């Protein structure tokens, strides 16, 4: 019976990803973000449950990546699709059929092609997850940005728009070239060769986990101080601290 517990938790991640997908398509990006975060929590706890119960399996590994393709692949792609659409119309609610003056349309279709560029994130996420499944070198660390971290980065953008309400930030985030650059950067980071530390604690000893504890403490301080704007800062800090740590150790 216990061997099914981690897989059931993973399936809860699948459910959250499906719900988040629906809300993202409906452009209700706040609710999409809520279910993405729930899905990422389930993604963390399924691995933890498998280790605690000692029931890790090949099925669980494959199922975990399939769940992540939805929650941390499809959803951020749709979110970027919506953001690119908003950058074209200048408004929160996107009417794709009313943008003839803003974009070149595909022949016979009343759909602007630019927003579909956001699905580069989905493609890059799927490729990264496939590589992860066959890479034995990513047990205690990651090579490339993990898909959940990348997803948090992408979904933070509409939350900054909603809750930070800063004209400068809004202008940057709704700039087409910024969003295109973010999409490309996201795809590159997901499949880069940068070695990043994992937040997996084998014990609670501070000396063995100093970098992890420092990262968590600084991240909490940043979240309290900058709210959703802290997320891109935390991702940048995660990458920089990993590179510095690897350089000092090697």
Longest dimension (CA), the chain: 63
The gap from C-alpha 207 to its chain's centroid, in whole angstroms, comes to 29
pLDDT at 99: 46
Cα distances (Å, whole numbers) of residue 142 to 72, 181, 191, 239: 16, 23, 11, 11
Helix axes 120-133, 176-190, angle to 10 degrees: 10
Task: State the total domains in the chain.
Answer: 1
> Per the structure block, which two tokens stand in for 183?
């999409």
Residue 232, domain CATH: 1.20.120
pLDDT at 203: 64
* Integer Rg of the chain from CA: 19
**pTM for this structure?**
0.88
pLDDT at 141: 77
> Per the structure block, which two tokens stand in for 19?
């719900």
pLDDT at 100: 45
**Among positive and negative, which fits the CA dihedral 101, 106, 107, 108?**
negative
**Parallel, antiparallel or unpaired: strands 195-197 and 141-143:** antiparallel
81: part of which helix (H) or strand (E)? helix 75-89
Domain that holds residue 123: 2-249
pLDDT at 197: 87
What stretches in the chain show pLDDT beneath 70?
Answer: 89-111, 136-140, 201-203, 206, 208, 248-250
The pLDDT tens digits of the residues spanning 168-206 come to 999 999 999 999 999 999 999 999 999 998 877 666 776
pLDDT at 47: 78
């Amino acid at each position: 019976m216990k061997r099914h517990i981690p897989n059931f938790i993973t399936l809860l991640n699948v459910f959250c990803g499906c719900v988040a997908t629906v809300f993202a398509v409906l452009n209700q990006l706040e609710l999409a973000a809520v279910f993405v975060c729930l899905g990422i929590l389930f993604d963390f706890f399924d691995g933890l449950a498998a280790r605690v119960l000692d029931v890790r399996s090949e099925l669980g590994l494959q199922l975990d990546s399939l769940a992540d393709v939805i929650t941390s692949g499809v959803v951020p792609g749709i979110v970027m699709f919506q953001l690119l659409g908003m950058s074209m119309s200048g408004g929160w609610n996107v009417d794709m059929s009313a943008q003839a003056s803003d974009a070149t349309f595909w022949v016979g279709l009343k759909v602007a092609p630019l927003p579909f560029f956001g699905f580069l994130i989905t493609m890059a996420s799927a490729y990264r997850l496939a590589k992860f499944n066959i890479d034995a070198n990513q047990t205690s660390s990651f090579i490339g940005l993990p898909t959940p971290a990348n997803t948090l980065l992408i979904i933070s953008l509409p939350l900054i728009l909603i809750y930070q309400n800063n004209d400068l930030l809004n202008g940057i985030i709704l700039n087409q070239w910024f969003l295109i650059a973010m999409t490309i950067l996201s795809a590159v980071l997901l499949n880069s060769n940068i070695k990043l530390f994992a937040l997996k604690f084998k014990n609670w000893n501070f000396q063995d986990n100093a970098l992890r504890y420092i990262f968590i403490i600084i991240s909490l301080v940043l979240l309290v101080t900058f709210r959703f704007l802290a997320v891109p800062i935390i991702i940048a800090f995660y990458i920089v601290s990993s590179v510095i740590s690897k350089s000092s150790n090697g």
